[in-house]
Amino acid sequence: MSQKSRLHIPHAAARPGETPDFSYLALSPAGAVARPPVDSRMSDIEFLSNDLVRVLDENHAAQGPWNPGLDSSTLLEALRLMVLVRQYDDRMQRMQRQGKITFYVQSLGEEAVSIGGGLALRDSDMLFPAYRNQGLYILRNTGLVEMMSHCLSNTNDFCRGRQMPVFYQNAKNRVFTISGNLATQYPQAVGWAMAAAIKGEDAIAASWVGDGSTAEADFHYALTFAAVYQAPVILNVVNNQWAISTFQGVAGGERRSFAARGLGLGIPGVRVDGNDLLAVYAVTQWAAERARSGGGPTLIELVTYRGGAHSTSDDPTRYRPKDEWAAFPLGDPLHRLKGHLVQAGSWSDEQHLAMEEQMKQYVLDCWKKATTFGTMTEGPFLRVHEMFEDVFEHMPQHLQRQQAQLLELEGI
Amino acid sequence: MAQMTMIQAINSALDIMLDIDPSVVILGEDVGYFGGVFRCTEGLQKKYGDHRVIDAPIAEGGIIGTAIGLGVNGLRPVAEIQFADYIYPGFDQVVSELARLRYRSDGTFYSPVTIRTPCGGGIRGGQTHSQSPEAIFTHISGLITVMPSNPFDAKGLLVSAIESNDPVIFFEPKRIYNGPFDGDPNNPSVPWSSHPLGEVPEAYYNVPLGKAALVETGHELTIISYGTIVHVAQAAAKLAGVSADIIDVRTLMPLDIDTIRQSVSKTGRCLVAHEATRFCGYGAELVATVQEECFWSLEAPIERVTGWDTPYPHAFEWQYFPGQKRLLAGIRKVMEAK
Ligand SMILES: Cc1ncc(C[n+]2csc(CCOP(=O)(O)OP(=O)(O)O)c2C)c(N)n1
Ligand SMILES: [Mg+2]
């Protein structure tokens, strides 16, 4: 032991040109982790924050007590949604590359996080997503034409051009508007859940943040309030190993799991294979049951991998090995669910290819439809004076004046 | 001399300060291995090590709070906040702590923190990558606030900021990181290599804090601005065919009142312009200053051109941004007033 104090500066296991190394990831075999009752004492379930809940094994068979026992039609719907999300991402990414939209964020490799978690919740539950949770909007029937229209800032955009692409919303189906500021939605989800409890409703709230975002104070506010009031909320940390260029160790993931962040406050944590749709579903269902039965909050860490760039403004080859995703031990969530359905005899490669083709065509049709509401270069366009609306409920005089001034300048 | 973009000039200032002063440390999100999302710290971790160029967790309050502590214990921290739009989680550390440490301890404690942060719009960043929050900081007693408009000033002012024992908020208008911008997005983009102030000495130099620059001289009108809008104002004045003094404030706090007084006393007409929202914007302070200092020389009401009092919309970026058309209208109004 050195006699001097010293700093530990976290360094990623592998950088460009180096061999990917995931030896830091603690894994448990599928089916190996016990599923305790939802009313267990804190001290009896701490293992859930260290182990890794997994259902699908290497041969895509479902194993152990966390198998949610979903029927094949539900699983096929989950698969269809994941394929749809991936096809949507693929098209929108390409549209950004062609200059049709200004910005885009893919969820490549993380599709099971939104689809598995979302499916385990009720329609009346309120979702507070992060920007990589497009799957939640798609799952809640937001409509690809509407989502694309938003990304185009066109006349059909549900936030009328106010936000840059991927900041979706769907009030009707209970999915909150996305903020560009990290983790701000976390305490808000807790507040929503507290209101549901105050009003005596049995809806719960769920929110998602990235591993990097857990460093923000808002993350910790959320945990504190959720713990103090035992709010009916599910707090998800999507640990996709990266936060732009910094690996999860920079957010403090080197010595303990993100799932363990709530233990000191008395919030149970569950670490789950985020690329295993069955496990994500089961763990979310467990947490929802706790919340609905007065058991309070649960912190879920979904272990996954960011398969694509951080966003279209990013070039990950500058900071991580090109082949890192291929080396990720938890694989690709889509292939794993597909493999499960195939080995169970309810799906085939041919059917899968046909469905992929169908989803691709559907996405293309939606894109064509969305562009009829306007693109960045071709009308119809939003009307410029609308930019002054919704700053306040009623437009104050100074904004009315500025609005008039702009219209005069624009010759409208 | 070398041709530098604003990014390269900032990188050069940081490089020199890390080199000549072992107490300088850099911390921020993605600043280390990656070199920053705008590449301002590129190569610096490799050159100076991971204890001097530190990748920070995503926590602006943590970055600024620890920077204060590093500074109190003898280091000279340069914190990067990835976008000015994301500085608010660190606001309490800036306002209640950094700005007032010297005052509340009777000069016993201080922390020479520099906070660099990209600001401003024009990059299709929508409401969370476009803000110009400088007036929120100039309103706080105890903070020096800077916004350069070109590579030469960026390097020289950043050197002075790092050397300053008072805390500095250093805003970098990201629209002009790679070239000056005349406010018309349809014009082809221009590189800094075509601009005289893209000529930057490679060696150490500084530009003093608290001194404005007269970037154009004229006799009919004084235009006071800073950041991206300096270039828009130059283009608009030319279009209007008006002979104008154009003052680039550069340091917003403390303000160089003498330069402003001398100019407006000479021209008798004044227009103030910035990209930030209007109400309680920095322009209000400029107008009040001109009124206090030069009232008896004024031949027309002072004109103000600013961003609108709305969040920065994604779809209407160019209708929001105070471009040439709005500046031109402002210039005409102040020139025509009798
Ligand atoms: C308050 C705040 N600080 C910084 C940023 C800039 N930023 C956007 S995404 C990001 C990385 C987030 O990483 P993580 O939370 O792991 O989510 P992921 O992108 O991996 O899904 C950063 C630093 C921001 N949007 N908001
Ligand atoms: Mg991440």
Same domain, A364 and A410: no
Could you tell me if residue A3 is inside a domain? no
A275 pLDDT band, cuts 50/70/90, is very high
Q: Of A385, A411, A410, which is closest to residue A399 (Cα–Cα)?
A: A385
Does A213 sit in the ligand 1 pocket, CB within 6 Å? yes
Mutate to test the pocket of ligand 1, among B86, B93, B115, B129 (most ligand atoms within 8 A of CB): B86
Rounded Cα distance, A406 and B308, in Å = 9
Same domain, A67 and A96: yes
Q: Indicate the class that CATH gives domain B210-336.
A: alpha beta
Same domain, A296 and A387: no
Region of A168 (left: φ > 0; alpha: ψ -120 to 50; beta: rest) is beta
User: Which of A5, A15, A216 is the mutation pick for testing B, counting most B CBs within 10 A?
Assistant: A216
Same domain, A284 and A368: yes
Could you tell me if residue A66 is inside a domain? yes
Given this model, what pLDDT does residue A183 score?
98
Same domain, A402 and A264: no
Could you tell me if residue A191 is inside a domain? yes
Given this model, what pLDDT does residue A132 score?
98
Judged by its nearest atom, the ligand closest to the C-alpha of residue A215 is: 1
Mean pLDDT calculated for residue range A375-400: 96
Q: Do B127 and A318 touch (CB under 8 A)?
A: no
Same domain, A303 and A402: no
B91 touches chain A (CB under 8 A): no
Same domain, A119 and A210: yes
Same domain, A232 and A356: yes
CA of A210 to the centre of ligand 2 (A): 5
Same domain, A93 and A167: yes
In chain B, what are the domain boundaries? 2-176, 210-336
Same domain, A248 and A343: yes
Report the percent of chain A where pLDDT is more than 90: 98
* pLDDT, tens digit, 9 for 90 and up, residues A245-273: 999 999 999 999 999 999 999 999 999 99
Rounded Cα distance, A257 and A279, in Å = 18
Nearest residue in B to A398, CA atom: B309
Q: Could you list the beta-strand ranges (E) of B58-131.
A: 76-80, 114-119
Please state whether the predicted TM-score (pTM) of the whole model is above 0.95. yes
A1 pLDDT band, cuts 50/70/90, is low
Mean pLDDT calculated for residue range A90-104: 98
Same domain, A393 and A348: no
Could you tell me if residue A9 is inside a domain? no
Rounded Cα distance, A132 and A86, in Å = 12
Does A140 sit in the ligand 1 pocket, CB within 6 Å? no
Architecture in CATH of B2-176: 3-Layer(aba) Sandwich (3.40)
Report the percent of chain A where pLDDT is more than 70: 100
Residues in A 229-288 with any Cβ partner in B closer than 8 A: 243-246, 250-252
Could you tell me if residue A11 is inside a domain? no
* pLDDT, tens digit, 9 for 90 and up, residues A5-61: 889 999 999 999 999 999 999 999 999 999 999 999 999 999 999 999 999 999 999
What CATH number has the domain bearing residue A237? 3.40.50.970
Could you tell me if residue A412 is inside a domain? yes
Q: Could you please report the per-residue DSSP string of A180-220?
A: SSTTTHHHHHHHHHHHHHHTT----EEEEEETGGGGSHHHH
Give the structural domain span for A387.
383-412
Q: Do B319 and A157 touch (CB under 8 A)?
A: no
Q: What contacts A233, CB < 8 A, 6 or more positions away?
A: A189, A190, A192, A193, A204, A205, A206, A207, A226, A291, A297
Could you tell me if residue A33 is inside a domain? no
Same domain, A344 and A411: no
pLDDT beneath 70: ranges in chain B: none
Region of B263 (left: φ > 0; alpha: ψ -120 to 50; beta: rest) is alpha
Given this model, what pLDDT does residue A4 score?
84
Given this model, what pLDDT does residue A2 score?
60
Mean pLDDT calculated for residue range A166-176: 98
Work out how many domains chain A is built from and give that number: 2
